[in-house]
Amino acid sequence: MLKRVRQVCADCEVKDECLDYALNMNIQVGIWGGKSANERRQIRKERGITGTDDDWGYMLSVEAQKARNDRERLGGLDEPV
């Protein structure tokens, strides 16, 4: 069954966003973004993610990273479009 779920995730357009959500919310069950709970724990450890969804400092850092990613995607613009 895990193999089939991973096949579905492999073709999903929002796989990365799904994984980011699970990592950011510290979801402990299921397959998210093609990764198991154990794999997500390892990713969180490697990325130094320690906060949870109720940790304001952590959430602000997540939003700041999203803003940086958006600026990069839009060609390094300093101001939002």
How far is the C-alpha of 25 from the C-alpha of 27, rounded, in Å?
A: 5
> What's the pTM value of the predicted model, to 2 decimals?
0.59
Mean pLDDT on 44-49: 89
- Exposure string (b/e) for 68-78, b if CB count within 10 Å is 16 or more? eeeeeeeeeee
**81 pLDDT more than 50:** no
Query: Domain spans of the chain?
Result: 1-50, 52-81
Q: Where are the beta strands (DSSP E) in the chain?
A: none
pLDDT in tens, 14-43: 999 999 999 988 888 899 999 999 999 999
pLDDT in tens, 51-80: 655 455 556 667 777 888 888 878 765 555
Are 35 and 2 spatial neighbours (Cβ–Cβ below 8 Å)? no
